[in-house]
């Protein structure tokens, strides 16, 4: 059973067991939608809401669902919350909803959401389950937004374009033009470009993890050597 310690849950969701960078789950929407920051924020927050709410619901019914109907029940819960989010987006951010299209209902099939419901929420009380949903959802959303920012910057030479689709008229002037008269780089905004940038992100994370592991091993070796020489731990 996974640890219910809040610090461990946060570290696991945001870094050590990040759904996008480590588990490599939800890659279809991650790569298909992340061609701009506004798209990434929209899908990221939709996934975060569904993940958190479904974790809470699964945790509340965990002692009342038999093994035989466990997975179908979890899928129905996730589908219900996805439908709620879809209706809210249709009501308040309809243009963005049209752009995201099929990827909103596809949250139902996102392995991150079902995986956390089955692996964590079904075995823990509501509060740790809510925190797990928040951290895993935030970890997924942050990678999605970072990927969207890089692809938009390289592909279109802008940042935060069309933010009014999500935040209304107040965001009309949020667009940052990085390079004037930029000749758009089409590869960056297409799915193949998303694969390349995602590969760079995973490689960077692995390098950071390897550096930290090597540093920790060196510190342990130094401490062991000190104990052998002095007979005391200082």
By the 8 A CB rule, do 165 and 146 touch? no
Pairwise CA distance, residues 98 & 43, whole Å: 12
Pairwise CA distance, residues 186 & 162, whole Å: 18
Q: Quick one: average pLDDT of 8-16? A: 95
Pairwise CA distance, residues 123 & 62, whole Å: 7
- Mean model confidence pLDDT for the chain: 92
Domain map (residue ranges) of the chain: 6-222
* Strand ranges (E), the chain: 158-159, 176-177
Residue 223 pLDDT > 80, yes or no? no
Pairwise CA distance, residues 198 & 1, whole Å: 30
How buried is residue 210: exposed, middle or buried, by Cβ count under 10 Å (0-12/13-18/19+)? exposed
Residue 229 pLDDT > 90, yes or no? no
Residue 218: pLDDT band by 50, 70, 90 thresholds? confident
Residue 56 pLDDT > 50, yes or no? yes
């Amino acid at each position: 059973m996974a640890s219910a310690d809040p610090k461990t849950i946060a570290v696991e969701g945001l870094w050590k067991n990040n759904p996008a960078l480590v588990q490599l789950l939800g890659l279809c929407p991650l790569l298909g939608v992340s061609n701009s920051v506004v798209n990434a924020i929209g899908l990221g927050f939709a996934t975060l809401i569904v993940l958190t709410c479904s974790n809470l619901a699964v945790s509340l019914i965990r002692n009342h669902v038999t093994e035989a109907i466990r997975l179908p029940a979890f899928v129905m819960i996730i589908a219900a919350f996805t439908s709620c989010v879809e209706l809210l987006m249709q009501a308040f951010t309809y243009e963005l909803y049209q752009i995201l299209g099929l990827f909103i209902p596809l949250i139902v099939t996102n392995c991150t959401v079902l995986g956390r419901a089955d692996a964590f929420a079904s075995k823990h009380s509501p509060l740790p389950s809510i925190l797990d949903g928040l951290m895993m959802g935030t970890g997924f959303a942050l990678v999605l937004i970072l990927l969207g920012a890089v692809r938009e910057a390289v592909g279109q030479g802008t940042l935060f374009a069309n933010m009014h689709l999500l935040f209304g008229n107040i965001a009309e002037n949020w667009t940052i033009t990085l390079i004037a008269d930029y000749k758009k780089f089409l590869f960056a905004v297409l799915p193949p470009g998303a694969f390349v940038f995602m590969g760079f992100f995973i490689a960077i994370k692995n390098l950071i993890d390897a550096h930290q592991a090597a540093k920790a091993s060196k510190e342990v070796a130094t401490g062991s050597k000190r104990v052998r020489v002095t007979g005391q731990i200082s």
